[in-house]
Amino acid sequence: MEPPIDVRNPTDPPRVRLWWEIGIVLALSVGQSAIYSVLSFVRTVQRALAENASIGDQSTQLNPSRDADALWDLTYQLLGIFFSLCVVALVVYLLWEPGSNALRRIGLDFRRFGGDLGRGILLVIVIGVPGLALYLAGRALGITVEVVPAPLDAAWFTVPVLLLAAVRAGLLEEVILLGYLFDRLRRLGWSWWSIIVATALLRAAYHAYQGVGAIIGNFVMGLVFGWCYRRWGRVMPLVIAHTLIDVVAFVGYPLAVGLWPALFGPS
């Protein structure tokens, strides 16, 4: 099954309007993240050169605390997740057309959950394991920033919020990059491989703050995910895979740091 948009329809919005819509959506979501991430990477390189050090000597934190007070931290974390999901809702609304269910059209439903889950787990194995190896190799070569995970024992709500953050990331990134951009760019006349490469580059850009290894790894991930969406026509397996990968990163990685500090801890 393939995404249904193959040619531009006469009823499609004007091209200029489509470009404005894409720009606004990206500015509110992954495009904004990409700009900040690239600037962070440039700043990291600048700092490393000034200190005569390598990129690997720098660090970044996943899911940092928003406030020292536990109750306020929980409030800010949940609000951040909620407002991110509002962007997902906006994108689904923009994709909605008379007589066409947008969720069903991009495959964000539970009609084939068993198959979607199986494909998602397969992608975790194909992408997640090599991704971990790439991170360790990047750390060894000094080209990947040390990723400092959020401590799991910070508060009673830490793990549930991290799980929600993983779901948020899976929905936000895959619905926008695959479900939305594939539809809109195809309507603008882009070829499938142009769309796949462009979205993979965008995915790499908003992970640039983690260093060269993350840029390469996420670009490859974007190519694989884009090809899979083109082939399957369903975003749900990609959301599941992304969520599971982030669960491992947000929850499993801190456990690994505690169990094997020599391997995953600071070099």
Per-residue model confidence as pLDDT tens digits over 3-15: 555 555 656 678 8
Does 246 map to a domain?
yes
- pLDDT at residue 103 is higher than 50: yes
Does 5 map to a domain?
no
Percent residues over pLDDT 70 in the chain:
88
Global pTM? 0.88
Does 178 map to a domain?
yes
Strands 146-148 and 59-61: parallel
Range of the domain at 98: 15-264
Q: Are 64 and 78 in contact (CB under 8 A)?
A: no
What are the b/e assignments for 102-139, b being 16+ CB within 10 Å?
Answer: bbebbbbeeebeeebeebbeebbeebbeebbebbeebb
- pLDDT at residue 260 is higher than 70: no
Domain count of the chain?
1
3-state helix, strand, coil in the chain (%, to 5): 70, 5, 25
139 band by pLDDT with thresholds 50, 70 and 90: confident
Task: Determine the pLDDT at residue 258.
Answer: 57
Does 158 map to a domain?
yes
Structure tokens at 158: 């830490």
Chain centroid to CA 235: 13
Does 28 map to a domain?
yes
Q: Are 43 and 126 in contact (CB under 8 A)?
A: no
70 band by pLDDT with thresholds 50, 70 and 90: confident
- pLDDT at residue 2 is higher than 50: no
Beta-strand runs (E) in the chain:
59-61, 146-148
